[in-house]
Homo-oligomer: A and B are copies of this chain.
Amino acid sequence: MSQRAPEREAISELTTGRLSVYLRCLTFLESIGQRTVSSHELAERFHLNSAQIRKDLAIFGEFGTRGVGYNVATLREHLIHTLGLDRTRNVIIAGAGNLGMALADYGGFNEGGFHIIALADSDPAKFGKTSRSGIPVVPFASLSTTIRTSSVEIGIIAVPSPAAQHTYDALVDAGICAVLNFAPIQIRLRPGVKLKSVDLRINLESLSFYLKNVEDGTCGF
């Protein structure tokens, strides 16, 4: 599809998700002063198979030492680089409702490589206000300007479902090519733009399905 195929195009989302998990673990291990870690030790922590971990870590080069394991600090730096977290990426949140505000103040979204620039909303009553942690609400109409002047690379859709497609298009038109969507609808995609969707309700329904299937009084009690 694209002409300059970077030799290794095929790293699945499952793999990158695990890399993120390993990274978090390595950060913890480094903080407690551990120098090396083996694939077996990592595997135990996450109920994973050690071969899986070795395969994941070997995709981008050989970073372990046979007979010893992986150097925590080195591997951590390597993963940070691989995931593109070694420089800050600016983020904008579309929708300053409950969810948008919560995400703006969410710890994990404002550290380790990400910086939330602003929330954009179409309700004038919210303009000029800020989230609790001080992230400003700007008019939706100025989305494009904000994105360009602040070099925003990632957009988060936290608007009601009916507004989601429109919001997506506005983000893409402003030059965004990576979008995280919380609206439970199927977005009409545009080429060259990466979309990740998080459907909160599906998780609850999955639990409901589980409960229905133990609905005979068991549940371990």
Residues of chain A touching chain B, judged by Cβ–Cβ distance below 8 Å, are: 2, 4, 6, 13, 16-17, 19-21, 23-24, 45-46, 82-85, 89, 91, 98-99, 101-103, 105-109, 113-114, 132, 153-154, 160, 175, 177-180, 184, 186, 190-194, 196, 198-216, 218-221
Q: Please determine whether B208 and A194 come into contact, CB atoms closer than 8 angstroms.
A: no
Q: Please determine whether A16 and B205 come into contact, CB atoms closer than 8 angstroms.
A: yes
> Which of B20, B193, B205, B218 is A202 in contact with, Cβ under 8 Å?
B20
Q: Please determine whether B84 and A208 come into contact, CB atoms closer than 8 angstroms.
A: yes
For A172, give the chain B residue with the smallest CB separation. Answer: B220
Per the bound structure, the CA–CA distance linking A113 and B208 in Å amounts to 9
**Residues of chain B with a CB closer than 8 A to A209's CB:** 16, 19, 82-84
Q: Please determine whether B102 and A98 come into contact, CB atoms closer than 8 angstroms.
A: yes
> Which of B46, B178, B184 is A186 in contact with, Cβ under 8 Å?
B46
Q: Please determine whether A212 and B83 come into contact, CB atoms closer than 8 angstroms.
A: yes
Chain B nearest Cβ from A83, distance in angstroms: 5
- Contact flag A206-B16 (CB < 8 Å), given A106-B200, A186-B45: yes
Per the bound structure, the CA–CA distance linking A220 and B106 in Å amounts to 31
Q: Please determine whether A83 and B196 come into contact, CB atoms closer than 8 angstroms.
A: no
Closest CB pairs A-B (n = 8): A192-B220, A84-B212, A102-B102, A108-B201, A178-B207, A98-B102, A194-B210, A177-B219
Chain B nearest Cβ from A185, distance in angstroms: 8
**Residues of chain B with a CB closer than 8 A to A200's CB:** 103, 106, 108-109, 198
Per the bound structure, the CA–CA distance linking A219 and B68 in Å amounts to 41
For A99, give the chain B residue with the smallest CB separation. Answer: B102
For A176, give the chain B residue with the smallest CB separation. Answer: B219
**Residues of chain B with a CB closer than 8 A to A202's CB:** 17, 20-21
**Residues of chain B with a CB closer than 8 A to A99's CB:** 102, 106
